[in-house]
A and B are shown apart, each in its own frame.
Chain A
């Protein structure tokens, strides 16, 4: 024991790192037991039979490929819509008066304090056959019979964007606040019309925020479960929904494991791509 301590003392680098290592230990142990080990187990489960048959099935069977692609497509659409809504909002928050900024922040944060289930059911109440939207349209005489607003991709998109948009707004807001307002003035002064100043100066400078927000929203979208189930009504299948079905309905843990691994791999690839973009972006800016 004493020899170990003296070794620690002698080793300068080790002494420097000992503090941070000790501080991060609880979190590391927590993640190891509750996340890393189950993931590895799930992975082992998927190749338990000694072959990659489940993976083969996941990547060749048209049904599962379609679901994977559909998941990708929905995640992409959610990301794009969130971006289009969040960008002007984040910009507004940077120029708003302190009072309006506080109000905006409150509205953005409020969803975080509300259960995702409650929010999703709220959308069902709004979009349902006898929901607020249909009732309003009926009473205004715009439609004769209720239109189906629920249980389709649009409903899923609405619900997901609602939940995920704050993840886009905050990174954008953080980056936009750091953009030197002099740069836009310089651009105007040097002869740039507003939209060109935006395209050449402002937008490129906020790109790190766009990438950070987009990667967060995209990755979270990929694994979304409750919203697609409730607002999609079984008609919009995302991969997380499929995994849940295989576990609870078919008890096919091995295949669920293979699908999970596919999702994980796919997510890591997306994450890596974003990281790579961010890095080259940082090298530029």
Chain B
């Protein structure tokens, strides 16, 4: 574990006045992985990135880069490649000059600079654009120049600060995959900051979900989505149907949770807490099934269709289950199936295995 760790934050603390931006954060980024810091604005993710880059100093804790303590090192000496939110290309320099800049600062020999610049621009498929100025490039091309400039000097780690925010949707998806492919191809350890959960799920090896200066959960995209550690993560990632309740009993690996409205839910879980523990049942909209005829599942709920959003290959339903509560359902549409209409009363259900149990009480789970 320690050997393949490239970047390590130990009890990193940063406060602004009486606001704690980073609350004793521990984090390890493994060699070659792309780790995403995902969180809403004000969660501390940008502060974390600035500490790693050296643009801010921590009030406590240490930052280690490949075993070396860089906590107090100026940014210029850290050997970190960074792609900024708005790219921060030098507007008065050509593409080639921009990419050559970090090498010139390292006093690399001229022929070597020419070689490296050619290599980096080749990697991002911008050969032939050497003499252009940044403002003569499209947003996507500027993004790629910024990437080339960040990797040309073979940095120890790559930092990406919401680098796709300024691109339009279609281009963004394309560039995201491109960056991911290059990151893997070059085996670049990367720390990526974003507030866009979809982006995080697509790109990351692991995701650290941040909130209020703390890491709420660290895991693979799959773990974060399917097994959120707490209500915040469940709410922040994807769409969730959440039912609060109390654990009432267990049957091997199935927990029984009594909902607030008296309804009993069956949830598969690895670690089932003691009876009486507060818990939340999570079921994703796409796990809900429409129950017709006498079909039954471990969990059922009935309600009135309040709204339908038709998306072609699928449709989204908002189902009013009474007492002002809604359940969201996302289902595949099938030909030859009776269409669901707004206002209709329907039964929906889900299996115990399709639900996830979030333990609310402190000290359990996580």
B236 in contact (CB, < 8 A): no
Residue among A187, A189, A284 having the largest count of chain B Cβ atoms under 10 Å = A189
- Give chain A interface residues in 12-71, CB to chain B under 8 Å: none
Q: Is the CB of B91 within 8 A of A205?
A: yes
Q: Which residues of A contact B106 (CB under 8 A)?
A: 191
Q: Is the CB of B55 within 8 A of A185?
A: yes
Among B76, B90, B133, which residue has its beta carbon within 8 angstroms of that of A201? B90
Write the B326-347 contact mask toward A (1 if CB under 8 angstroms, else 0).
0000000000000000000000
Q: Which residues of A contact B105 (CB under 8 A)?
A: 190-193, 196
A285 in contact (CB, < 8 A): yes
- Give chain B interface residues in 71-126, CB to chain A under 8 Å: 74-82, 84-86, 88, 90-92, 101-102, 105-106
Once the chains are docked, how many angstroms separate the CA of A191 from the CA of B106? 7
Q: How far is the CB of B254 from chain A (nearest CB, A)?
A: 52
User: Number of contact residues on B: which range applies?
Assistant: 20 to 34
Q: Is the CB of A189 within 8 A of B90?
A: no
Q: Is the CB of B102 within 8 A of A190?
A: yes
Among A186, A191, A196, A204, which residue has its beta carbon within 8 angstroms of that of B88? A186
Q: Is the CB of B86 within 8 A of A285?
A: no
Among B76, B81, B84, B153, which residue has its beta carbon within 8 angstroms of that of A193? B76
- Give chain A interface residues in 100-141, CB to chain B under 8 Å: none
Q: Is the CB of A204 within 8 A of B102?
A: no
Q: Which residues of A contact B76 (CB under 8 A)?
A: 188-193
The number of chain A residues with a CB under 8 A from chain B is: 19
- A189/B53 contact (C-beta < 8 A), A182-B84, A200-B101, A284-B133 known: yes
Once the chains are docked, how many angstroms separate the CA of A205 from the CA of B81? 23
Q: Which residues of A contact B79 (CB under 8 A)?
A: 191
B54 in contact (CB, < 8 A): yes
Q: How far is the CB of B163 from chain A (nearest CB, A)?
A: 12
A174 in contact (CB, < 8 A): no
A180 in contact (CB, < 8 A): yes
Residue among A180, A183, A185, A191 having the largest count of chain B Cβ atoms under 10 Å = A191
Among A182, A183, A185, which residue has its beta carbon within 8 angstroms of that of B75? A185
Q: Is the CB of A180 within 8 A of B102?
A: no
Q: Which residues of B contact A191 (CB under 8 A)?
A: 76-77, 79, 102, 105-106, 153
Q: Is the CB of B80 within 8 A of A284?
A: no
Q: How far is the CB of A280 from chain B (nearest CB, A)?
A: 12
* B residues whose Cβ falls under 8 Å from a Cβ of A: 53-55, 74-82, 84-86, 88, 90-92, 101-102, 105-106, 133, 149-150, 153
Additional A-B contacts beyond A182-B86, A189-B75, A191-B153 (19; CB < 8 A): A180-B88, A182-B85, A183-B88, A183-B90, A185-B53, A185-B55, A185-B75, A186-B90, A188-B55, A189-B54, A189-B80, A189-B82, A190-B76, A190-B82, A190-B101, A191-B79, A196-B105, A201-B90, A205-B90
* A residues whose Cβ falls under 8 Å from a Cβ of B: 180, 182-183, 185-193, 196, 200-201, 204-205, 284-285
